[in-house]
Structure 1
Amino acid sequence: MNLGLILICGVLALKAAELPVELAPGSQLRSVDVVLDCHYIEEAVGGFPGAFAGSFSSDPATLVLRGVSVADDGSLDSVTNYEAPGTDTDSASPIIFEVSETLVPIPYAESLLHADCAGEKVTCEISPYSLHLADEGPSQASWFMGTLKLSSGISIALVLKVSNVREEDERMAVLHPRLKVPISKEGTVLTTVEFQLSSRTPTLRTRLGTSVTLDCSFALASSSPLASLEWRLQYRGSGRRVFHYQAGDVAQAEQSTAHVDVVQLLETGDASLSLQGVGVGDEGTYICLVSTPQHQAQNIIQLQLVEPPRVRLFPELVSREGDGATTLTCEISGYYPLDVSVKWTREAPDDKDKIPISGSSTYFSSHRQAQDGTYGINSYLSINTAIELGPVTYSCHVSHLALEEPITASAQLRTPEQKTSNGLVGTFIATFIFLAALVGLMLRRRKTVDPKSEESLETSG
């Protein structure tokens, strides 16, 4: 990171948000240099004694994105252009790649520029790139692949071509001692972006039955037209093609729920894959593979499906009848993926915290799998109600990847006192109702007098 970028971090931190892609009022486009610390990765062919075949070497490198256009609201006034350290032809000379976007724009340039200020980590790797020519076979001369990944999830692949050296200058050109390609007077490798592929969603997590879009976009130099686009799904060692488009042919979706907008693909380079109503069979690693007659690059996107569990504990109210042995059942169903964690606790009124329960009193059923691919399991707790003297709450706590917090279901154990007092109250109420009804009946009978009985009383009088 150059000095200019360090100076603006204090200003950007006050804004609490990254500058938007669209120009805000009072902002204008400005060309700046973005400097990234990288690693140059190369296969170690015929390396040190004892080296294993296929091993790789890694050396520090610098990637300079020259003159990228970003929005500036005045906070970039202190940014200065990158200055190369100068020519150094010994074996320890730095590896510096200067990249021009004159042919193909570099995506997410503002995110790269403000990564340090936003607290994001940028991973940058550069490696030799094998160029595939339809008639001439593979060639590795003067081509490199740059891979950038931000901790926020953005990934960018850049196919870089070393700038051509004029024939009259070719004999006088200085070659980099490690890369064996021409370098500038400042000791840097001058390159242009010929092909870029990017994604802002390398990892997606969604629920079953939803619709998702796997982001994949590209841009090509005018000399390299699109040849094909292919989406593939890899899962647990097996793979299948989801979508395929060949230039000049009709697009082919291998499954009815998959769709790519071919119009947007050809007009804007949007190769995103839409999936409708995703199920368990749609989970896995998706590969967006874009090819030209010369180039080929890919994005890898992980799609993970999650479904939270449904939890039910029964019986909810436990009495002390019988021999005192009771089993609580915590029924857990409808969750995905398979792993689920269950904990039991006991809590009495005098307890400060819930007391964990473990050991032989808890056990599980076998896993069940529903037709939609979700799982279910039962967890059991055996309790002896005869030894409990007071009211107790037993709880089942279920944790799962789809949950931010565990789900808790509880059952209550009634005390003998609760049962006895409830019986006395019931008996008292029943007795009171009976006596009230009896008194009412007697009062009505006294008020009801037989007329014949009344006459006989008068005659005798």
Structure 2
Amino acid sequence: MVLICALLSVVLTAVLSQSKHEVRWLPCEFIDEHVVIVEELVLGKKMNISETKYQHRNAGLQFGNPGDRPVRSDLITFLATASKVDMRRYMKEGLDTLQCEVRRYRTGASPVRWPSMGAQEHDNWFTCTLRHTEGHFVITSFLRHSPSVPDVMQPNLQWSPIADRDIITTTAVVLMFSNTPSVVVALMEEQTLNCEFAVDHKAAHLTVEWYLQRNGYPTTKLFSYASHTGQSEGSGVSVKAIAKGDASLKIPLTRETSEGTYVCSLHIPPLSGSCNIPVEIKEPPFVSLNVNSEVSLSEGELQRVDCEAKGYYPLDVHMEWVRKSVNPGTSHVFEVLNTLGIVKFPSHRHNPDGTYSSIAYFLLRPTLQDSGYLYTCRVSHKALQMPIRKSFTLSVTRKDSYIWYLPPLLSIIGILALLLSRRHAVAGKA
């Protein structure tokens, strides 16, 4: 029985591992392009201007062999035939988590023959992007289609038409993959941005480059490598790993200046592809109060209450003071103190480590009616899944009436003591 169970386990494992790579069909969106010539008046002269219009069409991505019948005959079928570049090897989730998109791709005005068997100068090109709906990975493949008749309209910026039920037989020749399509990281942490690629032939002449794009700043080149010269510039990428199809970039320590969109660029003539990886830095705040959880004040006594948020990034933070009565038999309606205009917000402090700090405070001069209220500071920030709450309960005591008479009484006692001392002095002289 143990042997049978073990054999079943091995068979089941093999079937599951194989089924992931043998996806047969995926629903896809084909974003088609149509170039139209429109006549416009430019500087008083009529000129013909080419304009590209996009059409979203239903299609399917099918894996198989040339001549296979389509799984859905009512849709456009992009048939991806066997190749050394198989995007299914990079699929790590179920089919229901993938979004598929196919677009046309133009290699340039001068046709270049792809260096593999069966390729022609007049080949048509498409890109197919598979994106995980929860952001786990993204795959972009370049699909080559060899039409039986050269597309004479392509040099004139016009595509050959594709009918609703056409089968476009293609071969994947280049693939780019990343399992970090977007990254959220804390300050002063190491981070590796994944960028892998596959090519259907060896000794490809390729160029790998990394760029950083930041809002309001010029684009910065971080790294470049050209296989035909063997020269590289910059750092963060292993040249040895590039030879194995891994062009991942290592960011040593993240800072404010590390935030932006990182672009992994791959150029293999006549194809150029890129993978954009936005990197966002988030650091949650540490929140504290300058009072204990139980605060006892006399009626009319003044107390400043501070709520401080420290060490957060980015700058945007929302702080508010609220209160509600916790006395039995009273309503528990929240009252937002910010709306009463009594809460003050000094300017943010920019800390040396790049984070920010801020304080929200108010001056508390309670009455007896304020006793039993729960005061809460709520801090919201994009690095938090839910607001941080810090609270204290207020108790107010009544001032005793004799206290108001204590200063005059002490004065009278002092005067009487002085008079008695003088009287004793006079009596002593007599």
TM-score normalised by the chain length of structure 1: 0.68
Relative distance call for 1:308 and 1:314 in structure 2 (3 A) is same
Structure 2 residue identity aligned to 1:306: K
Partner of 1:454: none
**Is 2:228 aligned against 1:245?**
no
CA distance in 2: counterparts of 1:305 and 1:133, whole angstroms:
43
How do residues 404-415 of structure 1 correspond to structure 2 at under 5 angstroms?
A: 404-415=385-396
Matched, 1:327 2:304: yes
**RMSD of aligned Cα (Å):** 3.7
Distance 2:49 2:161 in 1: 27
Q: 1:210 to 1:140 in 2, by over 3 A?
A: farther
Partner of 1:285: 261
Deviation at 1:104, TM superposition (A): 1.7
Aligned residue runs from structure 1 range 386-425, under 5 A:
386-388=367-369, 390-416=371-397
1:201 lines up with 2:180 in the alignment: yes
Tell me which of 18, 22, 41 is aligned to 1:29: 18
Alignment of 1:219-238 (within 5 A): 219-222=198-201, 225-238=204-217
In 2 relative to 1, CA 352–48 (structure 1 residues): closer, same or farther, beyond 3 Å? Answer: farther
* Residue identity opposite 1:230 in structure 2: E
Structure 2 residue 374 is matched with structure 1 residue 385: no
Distance in 2 (alpha carbons) for counterparts of 1:193 and 1:243: 27
Mapping for residues 126-141 of structure 1, pairs under 5 Å: 126-131=103-108
1:145 match: 127
How far 1:278 moved relative to its partner?
A: 1.1
1:120-131 correspondence runs (5 A): 120-131=97-108
CA distance 1:189–1:245, shift in 2 (3 Å): same
Query: In the superposition, relative to structure 1, how do residues 321 and 291 fare at CA in structure 2: closer, same or farther (>3 Å)?
Result: same
- Whole-Å Cα distance in 1 between the matches of residues 323 and 160 of structure 2? 72
Q: Which of residues 194, 211, 222 in structure 1 aligns to 2:190?
A: 211
* 1:318 Cα deviation from its structure 2 partner: 4.5
Measured in 2, the distance between the counterparts of 1:140 and 1:326 equals: 81
| Displacement after TM superposition at 1:133 (Å) | 6.3
Select the residue among 260, 267, 290 that pairs with 1:314.
290
* SS class of match (1:381): strand
> Do the aligned partners of residues 241 and 49 (structure 1) sit closer, same or farther apart at CA in structure 2, a change above 3 Å counting?
closer
Q: 1:162 aligns with which of 139, 145, 149?
A: 145
Indicate how the Cα distance of structure 1 residues 366 and 123 shifts in structure 2: closer, same or farther if over 3 A, else same.
farther
Distance 1:225 1:196, change over 3 A: same
Helix, strand or coil at the partner of 2:212 = strand
Q: Counterpart of 1:64 in structure 2: which amino acid?
A: L
1:353 CA displacement: 5.4
Q: Quote the Cα distance in structure 1 between the aligned partners of 2:374 and 2:283.
A: 28
Letter in 2 for 1:142: N
Secondary structure of the structure 2 residue equivalent to 1:44: strand
Select the residue among 269, 274, 295 that pairs with 1:298: 274
State the AA in 1 paired with 2:213. Q
1:115 matches 2:74: no
- Taking the aligned partners of 2:266 and 2:390, their CA distance within structure 1 comes to 50
Q: CA deviation at 1:383?
A: 2.6
Note closer, same or farther for the CA distance 1:158–1:47 as it changes in structure 2 (3 Å cut). Answer: farther
Give the whole-Å Cα distance in 1 for the aligned partners of 2:340 and 2:49.
50
Give the alignment's TM-score, normalised by structure 2. Answer: 0.72
Q: Report the CA distance between 1:147 and its aligned residue.
A: 2.4
Structure 2 stretches lacking a partner, 5+ long: 1-11, 42-47, 114-120, 401-430
Alpha-carbon separation, structure 2, partners of 1:140 and 1:152? 38
Structure-2 separation of matches of 1:224 and 1:208: 40
2:36 aligns to what SS in structure 1? coil
Q: Amino acid of the residue matched to residue 283 of structure 2?
A: E
* SS of residue paired to 2:208: strand
Q: Give the aligned partner of residue 264 of structure 1.
A: 241
2:70 alignment counterpart = 82
Counterpart Cα distance in 2 of 1:32 and 1:221: 20
Q: Which amino acid aligns with 1:282?
A: S
- Contact kept, 8 Å, 2:302 with 2:363, in 1: the verdict is yes
> In structure 2, what is the Cα distance between the partners aligned to 1:390 and 1:29?
69
Q: Is the 8 A contact 2:366 2:396 kept in 1?
A: no
Partner residue in 1 for 2:64 = 67
Match of 2:86 in 1: 105
Q: Residue 4 of structure 1 aligns with which residue?
A: none
Query: Is the 1:84–1:187 Cα contact (8 Å) retained in structure 2?
Result: no
Q: Distance in 1 between matches of 2:345 and 2:395?
A: 25
The gaps in structure 1 that reach 5 residues or longer are: 1-22, 69-79, 87-93, 421-461
**What is the percentage of aligned positions where both structures have the same residue?**
25
Other-structure match for 1:371? 352
Between stretches 191-200 and 240-249, larger displacement belongs to 240-249
SS class of match (2:257):
helix
Of 272-281 and 32-41, more deviation after overlay is shown by 32-41
Paired amino acid for 2:207: S
CA contact (8 A) 2:83 2:173 kept: no
